[in-house]
Structure 1
Amino acid sequence: MTTLCEFPTFESDWLKPERVVLVGASSKLGSVGQVIGANLQSGSRAFKLQTVNPQQIDWSGTTHFNSLSAIPMGPGLGVVAIPAQGVSEAIATLGKKGIRYAVVISAGLERGSELGNKMLNAARDTGVRLIGPNCLGLILPHHRLNASFARSMPAAGDLALLSQSGAIATAMLEWAEPREVGFSAVVSVGDMAQTGMGELIEIFAQDAETRAILIYLEGLNDAQRFMEAARKTTLTKPVIVLKAGRSQMAGRAALSHTGALAGSWDVYRAAFREAGIVAVDTLEDMFDVASLLSCYPEGAKENLAIITNGGGAGILAVDAMARTGARLADLSDKTVNELNAFLPTVWSRANPIDIIGDADASRYSMTIETVLADPGVDALLVMNCPTGLLKPGEAAQATVDSVERARKGGSDKPVFGCWLGDANFAAASQQLNESRIPIFSTPSDAVRGFSALLQIRRASAKASSSEVEVSNPKTMAQAQALMQSVKNDGRRILSEIEAKTLLAEFGIPVVETRLIACEDDFQEACAAIKPPYALKIVSPDITHKSDFGGVALGLSNASAVRRAAEAMKKHISDAFPDARLDGFAIQPMVARKSAHELFAGLAQDTTFGPIVLFGAGGTAIEVIADKAIGLPPVSSRQAQEMIAATRISRQLAGYRHVPQADLVAITKVLEALSRLAVTLPEIAELDVNPLLADADGVVALDARVILR
């Protein structure tokens, strides 16, 4: 398959082409070629428009050619909207004519198909960069270029929209128009045959006209580049993603839609978090965040004040905050005293600031200005519940006037509104939107929007890189030698002794474990370890030993060990006659009364590759289903975030008579597993379960490693 690195890079001129060649222009009303042509004509003053069709087309302000080979030499953008069979030849001809960029609208060029490969080969051979195929097109509002079959040109703005669905892109444009939300670019990526999301993020990270990037994503075929680009970009520009295909059924639909790898939603969510991406849950949330970003692209700090004329509405907003991690601002004594001077005596005297149901416009204005002046307030939500005493438009105008006065005074604090009730919302939305004060119709929507602003601010505040420890050469050499030994034996599964040896090489504490390979080893092994003992079978065919009677605990002496081994051997031979038995592993019983049973490990994700997992361990691990995911390289900070994301972290923090577990030791285990994943990409699965953790540190009692 053709790889991205075989193609030339995008240069900045592709966002402002001086010439556009429409291959497949049509005069048939309502056809794709006709709609794209009409859209291009509307902006053709910014570029030369050339059309190609064997039949003559006479459009004002354009130059028509009956053959693509007849177009003049020179740079520009090609737009290809013809049957799939002719696309590769069209791309090749465009390249020979000096066209370096092309948007392929045509469908039927799936990745891996004969026609798809011919298109990619033609592009590679002639140096053409492709967007698509199977896409809506490309819109560059600042350049007045609409090379798509969308209904209209959106307003110019500073949001770049990248969408794997043309339908979602057009829905966003329809939503944006009445709200005066503008775009720097709209790119319908289609099947991403050549140009993936990662490269597009890189492009718009460098684009001076783009202040934030919105993405509708179904799947990725360039996960590593996507992560690298997002990590860098979110330090300076927000990246917002709506990920579709989260459920198993939707994932299959996404796969069939774009041909991209759908992957696991849990892993995508972890990837977004680590890259500083803000993930939204619904299309409505994407709309809301887009509205907020158009006004406040740098996000918001944590402390939110709420002004409301209805106490219940304020309570609902606080409830929503509890679900998002947002924080209520503490009002200063000075602010409370100033509010006391003009608010009714029954006002709430706390945040949320309930200015009572009989509030008039003046009360709104004075409260807003007073609260915005409080240095402990980082952002403000103004709420209005419908009453017969104050028209919604009057409350909106009071909000607009007071916020504008605050802005003239130097305030840059985000302010947004929530007008409850359909009629109430409709009556206020235009006034607030025109003054760049985003408005929501429910408390939960408003708070989710604020939460997104928080995530944007936090992502941009992160250090450009986190320190990640690397494996030393000696450790790498010994680990690779062990892997080679296993492969030379024709095995994919490491023995428990080998697995623990590997962990120890990377600094993960393991319980001493000895192999009993024959009858003569029993006495010597027991003498070297302090009783009581734990005994386990060693078999390359049975990895979950406790599930199949392959573990015996609390054995007091060598005789008990021998009897347990004989019983296990008989049970295994009866239940699994074809299973190979290489002996037994013996280790001391570890008595740590306050220790927690944890799980840590590695797995391979179809999209992102190796992942690090952590959570509650033990035999009921699947039932408890308490896990966090990290993507290597995992830094100390990321490991701490993984621990905090689990339910068991609350127990690890200590409770009642149980002291806090050694969180630093747990963090080091996750960092070590990350190094192990980077050093040994041939590992398919690695399980450490249980990993005991208490105030004295950690120790791995069991380990399993499977190679690809």
Structure 2
Amino acid sequence: MFPRFASTLRVAAAGARRQGSSLLPQTGLGASIISHPTSVLAYSFLSKLPVRFSSSVSSSTWKEVDFATAPPDPVEAIMTVQDSGLSPIFTPRSVAVIGATDKPRSVGGTLMRNLVTGGFSGPIYAVNPKREEVMGVQCFPSVKAIPGDVDLVVIVTPSKGIPALMAECVEKNVRGAVVISAGFKEIGPEGVKLEEQLLETAAKGGIRIVGPNCLGLMNPIVGLNATFASEMALPGKIGFISQSGAMCTSVLDWSLKEKIGFSAFVSIGSMADVNWADLIDYLGKDPHTDSILMYMEAIGDARAFLSAAKEVALKKPLIVIKAGRTEAAAKAASSHTGSLAGADNIFDAAMKRAGVLRVDTIGELFDVALTLAKQNLPKGPRLVIITNAGGPGVLATDAAALNDAEIATLDESTINKLNQFLPPAWSHSNPVDVLGDASPETYAKAVEVVAEDPNSDGMLVVLSPQDMTEPTNTAEMVLPSAHKSRVPVIASWMGGSEVERGAQLLNKNGVPSIPYPDSAAAVFAKIWSLRSRLEKLYETPTARIEVTPELLEKQRAVKGLLQDVSNSDRSILTELESKQVLKAYGIPVVETILCETVEDAVTAARDLGYPVVVKLNSETITHKTDVGGVQLNLSSEDMVREAFDLIQKNVAAKYSPEDFQGVTVQQMADLSGYELLVGSSVDPQFGPVVVFGSGGTLVEVMHDTSLALPPLTSVTARALMKETKIYKALQGIRGRLPINIAELEKILVSFSAMVVDQPLIMECDINPLLASPSQLLALDARVIVAKPGQKVPKVAIRGYPLEYVSKVTLRNNEVVTVRPIRASDEPLLIEFHTDISERSLRQRFFKDVSFAERTAHSRLSQLCNTDYDRGIVLIATDDKGRMVGFCAYRKRSLRDTTAEYRMLIRDAAQGKGLGTAMMTKLVEIAKTEGIKTLTATVSKDNTTFTGITKMLGFQTTPIDDKLIEHTLTL
């Protein structure tokens, strides 16, 4: 989120003093610098995007480079050494095995063997009161009896005694634990209680725990094998996390065959302590990890997972395969992990929102892993296929198209070059069929030519074994051309033993060979979708909700209404109440009048003008049409009277007279247009979920809906709509005019904000939302609220913190609005940077930084799309809507209670007290958010800012002759 603009020498000095903070803060009225490895979209994994950054410590020039070929940045190395709490687990200085034994084929015996033979260089201790020695290693009766320090313990004893053992570990100042043993929450209430005791004891000593009920973990980079697997993983760049030990051993066996290495290999078990988010955060900062693969049965803390995943996904690909897609499998997963599994389509939507690629099969997981380990991501969806057989080329073409990739149209110059050496009968199009007798030289030339085609974003080279084919020689000849390719190259050497040597040669030398061409084409499409998804997530939204005092007051009124309904032990809002809720959020609703008597209904109809609609008003009946409670197109007083009586009789016949509380009357709308559904429900794991699609009475039959996690922006709202069939019709079809798509986006954005702001809403349906070229109008609405005491799942993605919006009066009596930043604020930031002096910039960045660098979309988009759980970015705007100030803090990880802050004030706004007001507000918010310590590195000549922080109680400590560290304990 924070850009890497600092002089690396100065940052290094500050970082060394604090043992390498992950985020070196910027502060001041023209403030100091924050550097962060995930700060810029440009620092995306495998450097798929061209990025800008300083090419050396001493250079002040900036140039566009490919991160994949750029020299390593010393700042990032400093920032990754901060102690996240998991370092003692992954890089311990010493390890003890509690329950060690030399008994053959035992868990404790295999663990000891793996540690002793794995290459770990630190001390290894065995703990077993019944042994004096295990595998040549001295055995101690308890962990307390070990004479040296112990960073990591691996526990393989029966579960009932583990809390007591953990108490000994606390006394010994152990820092991390891997609990292999089962017998905790997965066995039921007794196990749950035992796990609670274990966690409570470990927390007293700050011990982090992986497991229980797990295989253990490996760090092949340092030779650590704390598992009872039969083999040690090869060192490499992939981090693998699994909830299944069996999946771990299967992936391990496959990786050894394919020569795939790992930076970390973790069996996470039942996640009593260390969870997905912790591991993603850790591996995201790990310089040895380029991509993260996950086998998941249950997500656990969904909000933490999504926060960590979105943070890391920009620089490293995250790939997940999740078991439990069907109801039966979900129950099995719950039984296995002791956690609940959520609905599969909601999980899909969540992964899209976080930028995580989901694969469907183990085969896809392996294929994607193989490809990511060897190739960059494609920059576009266009694939060129080179093949010596027509059938495999057609299969690959279908697979690419079905997975949303494209078959590239060859440039005319490419066809001309291929004509020079291919036989006349070649396909003259894509797929490039080089024919069955193609020689190794022909393949190599074809790859070389196609790699330069401007219409190509990726290449698939397919070889089928025919009588004249030379699979191994062809692989040898193709490799140099593939290595020179500007686009990623995937191979598919089809067959068995005849092509095996060639496929192995490709895999060993950086070109993934996937046995089946359709699978290979699908992998290309998958890795393209990953890049595309991330780019879309950080598009700048156009529509936004203006936060005004009137809006805040309306939302508070809605909260009061919902609470009153809930307190009255009523769960269903009437239609009129539901429309009041929608109207408060700016969603257009048809004017509706509540009528308790037939005479009231007649008067209302006369005032509104005929024709009208009369609907049942009931606090207990949700679906009015099921009881004949909706009477349409009433054009006279008599018809209104008849409708009132009919609805009242229908309710009395099917329910009771008490369920009838009058009717509502509204003018009959022009029904020409499309009936849409906009709704929400609450998932046990992910909280509120937004639904959009075709509406009307047949909504359950049509199944034309899509899901997304709120809150939405106009970009994510558009993506939600595009996933439905009705979207094409909404754009205009067969001579019909399009509806106002931009206005529909705003409605979805407002609706998503509503379900996030109002946690008491358990269900909400707008059905139908009438959409025509002339109007968008909610004709009917239904809202169900939580009952008193009902547990309400928290929202998976934190919404806009309205509570932090305030007005501030400056010394000159000017009033500014101070509020958290939003995704749509990028234009404000760009304009803001047009009015910053060189002095302020030097104090902020410690060097000259160009306007283009300060306002790059890759930088500002992450700043605007801040995760409010990880940090708060405040901006101040004047009465003209211009941004005049910026102040922010950020945590290194979700669990951290230390945050680093920074500030920058527009030059024209300096000297008016804005800096003091914004820092005061930021400190208040930090306290509310549970921050214990605020820190910053500030330029020594930034005396104004130092004066502000001293007034607020910050302590200052010199770092060197140019920098000062500011610290405030809250």
**Partner residue in 2 for 1:695:** 773
Residue type of the partner of 1:645?
E
**Partner residue in 1 for 2:91:** 16
Residue 604 (1) aligns with residue 678 (2): no
**Partner residue in 2 for 1:446:** 520
Residue 365 (1) aligns with residue 444 (2): yes
User: How do 1:78-227 and structure 2 match up within 5 A?
Assistant: 78-110=153-185, 113-227=192-306
Residue type of the partner of 2:468?
L
| Unaligned 5+ runs, structure 2 | 1-82, 787-970
> Shift of residue 264 of structure 1?
0.4
Contact 1:211 1:297 in 2 (8 A): no
Mapped partners of 2:488, 2:196: distance in 1: 49
Q: 2:716 aligns with which of 638, 645, 650?
A: 638
Mapped partners of 2:102, 2:379: distance in 1: 50
Q: Percent identity?
A: 38
> Shift of residue 460 of structure 1?
4.5
Residue 418 (1) aligns with residue 492 (2): yes
Mapped partners of 1:624, 1:521: distance in 2: 38
The one-character-per-residue Cα deviations of 1:95-120 (angstroms, maximum 9, x if unpaired) are 22111110000100116622111111
Measured at CA, do residues 242 and 469 of structure 1 come closer, stay the same or move farther in structure 2, by a change above 3 Å?
Answer: farther
Mapped partners of 1:233, 1:451: distance in 2: 21
Q: 1:666 aligns with which of 724, 744, 753?
A: 744
Mapped partners of 1:677, 1:262: distance in 2: 22
> Shift of residue 351 of structure 1?
1.2
Mapped partners of 1:530, 1:578: distance in 2: 29
The one-character-per-residue Cα deviations of 1:41-75 (angstroms, maximum 9, x if unpaired) are 11354221001011115245633202233123634
Q: 2:756 aligns with which of 655, 658, 678?
A: 678
Residue 30 (1) aligns with residue 108 (2): no
**Partner residue in 1 for 2:507:** 433
Mapped partners of 1:72, 1:460: distance in 2: 51
**Partner residue in 1 for 2:147:** 72
**Partner residue in 1 for 2:660:** 581
The one-character-per-residue Cα deviations of 1:228-263 (angstroms, maximum 9, x if unpaired) are 111111111100000110111111111111112200
Residue 295 (1) aligns with residue 354 (2): no
Q: 2:783 aligns with which of 678, 702, 705?
A: 705
> Shift of residue 527 of structure 1?
1.3
Contact 1:163 1:216 in 2 (8 A): yes
Residue type of the partner of 1:398?
M
Contact 2:99 2:128 in 1 (8 A): yes
Aligned to 1:561, the other structure's residue is in SS state helix
User: How do 1:486-565 and structure 2 match up within 5 A?
Assistant: 486-565=565-644
Aligned to 1:481, the other structure's residue is in SS state helix
> Shift of residue 579 of structure 1?
5.2
Contact 1:628 1:642 in 2 (8 A): yes
Mapped partners of 2:278, 2:725: distance in 1: 37
Residue type of the partner of 2:502?
A
Q: With structure 1 as the length reference, what TM-score do the two structures score?
A: 0.95
Measured at CA, do residues 257 and 300 of structure 1 come closer, stay the same or move farther in structure 2, by a change above 3 Å?
Answer: farther
Measured at CA, do residues 151 and 697 of structure 1 come closer, stay the same or move farther in structure 2, by a change above 3 Å?
Answer: farther
Residue type of the partner of 1:145?
L
Residue type of the partner of 2:503?
S
Q: 1:483 aligns with which of 549, 553, 562?
A: 562
> Shift of residue 589 of structure 1?
1.7
Mapped partners of 1:183, 1:401: distance in 2: 26
Aligned to 2:131, the other structure's residue is in SS state coil
Residue type of the partner of 1:67?
S
Residue type of the partner of 2:675?
E
Mapped partners of 1:375, 1:171: distance in 2: 40
CA RMSD of aligned residues (A): 1.8
Measured at CA, do residues 687 and 425 of structure 1 come closer, stay the same or move farther in structure 2, by a change above 3 Å?
Answer: farther
User: How do 1:248-287 and structure 2 match up within 5 A?
Assistant: 248-287=327-366
Q: 1:398 aligns with which of 451, 458, 477?
A: 477
The one-character-per-residue Cα deviations of 1:634-656 (angstroms, maximum 9, x if unpaired) are 11111000000012112112211
Residue type of the partner of 1:268?
F
Length, aligned pairs only: 695
Residue type of the partner of 2:689?
I
**Partner residue in 1 for 2:131:** 56
Residue 314 (1) aligns with residue 393 (2): yes
Contact 1:685 1:706 in 2 (8 A): yes
Mapped partners of 1:651, 1:128: distance in 2: 57
Mapped partners of 1:604, 1:648: distance in 2: 24
Q: With structure 2 as the length reference, what TM-score do the two structures score?
A: 0.70
> Shift of residue 300 of structure 1?
4.9
**Partner residue in 1 for 2:824:** none
Residue type of the partner of 2:716?
Q
Contact 2:717 2:749 in 1 (8 A): yes
> Shift of residue 419 of structure 1?
2.1
**Partner residue in 2 for 1:247:** 326
Mapped partners of 2:281, 2:546: distance in 1: 27
Please, which moves more after superposition, 476-485 or 581-590? Answer: 476-485
Measured at CA, do residues 205 and 546 of structure 1 come closer, stay the same or move farther in structure 2, by a change above 3 Å?
Answer: same
Contact 1:553 1:589 in 2 (8 A): yes
Aligned to 1:295, the other structure's residue is in SS state coil
Q: 2:646 aligns with which of 540, 557, 567?
A: 567
Please, which moves more after superposition, 684-693 or 450-459? Answer: 450-459
**Partner residue in 2 for 1:627:** 705
> Shift of residue 469 of structure 1?
4.1
Contact 1:197 1:226 in 2 (8 A): yes
> Shift of residue 303 of structure 1?
2.0
Mapped partners of 1:119, 1:297: distance in 2: 43
Mapped partners of 1:692, 1:126: distance in 2: 60
Residue 651 (1) aligns with residue 726 (2): no
The one-character-per-residue Cα deviations of 1:382-420 (angstroms, maximum 9, x if unpaired) are 01122111132232222224324x2xxxx4421111122
**Partner residue in 2 for 1:3:** none
Residue type of the partner of 1:458?
S
The one-character-per-residue Cα deviations of 1:74-100 (angstroms, maximum 9, x if unpaired) are 341110110011111111211221111
Aligned to 1:46, the other structure's residue is in SS state coil
Measured at CA, do residues 88 and 578 of structure 1 come closer, stay the same or move farther in structure 2, by a change above 3 Å?
Answer: farther
Contact 2:590 2:777 in 1 (8 A): yes
Please, which moves more after superposition, 556-565 or 385-394? Answer: 385-394
> Shift of residue 476 of structure 1?
1.9
Mapped partners of 2:530, 2:569: distance in 1: 50
Contact 2:86 2:176 in 1 (8 A): no
Aligned to 1:204, the other structure's residue is in SS state helix
Mapped partners of 2:705, 2:374: distance in 1: 37
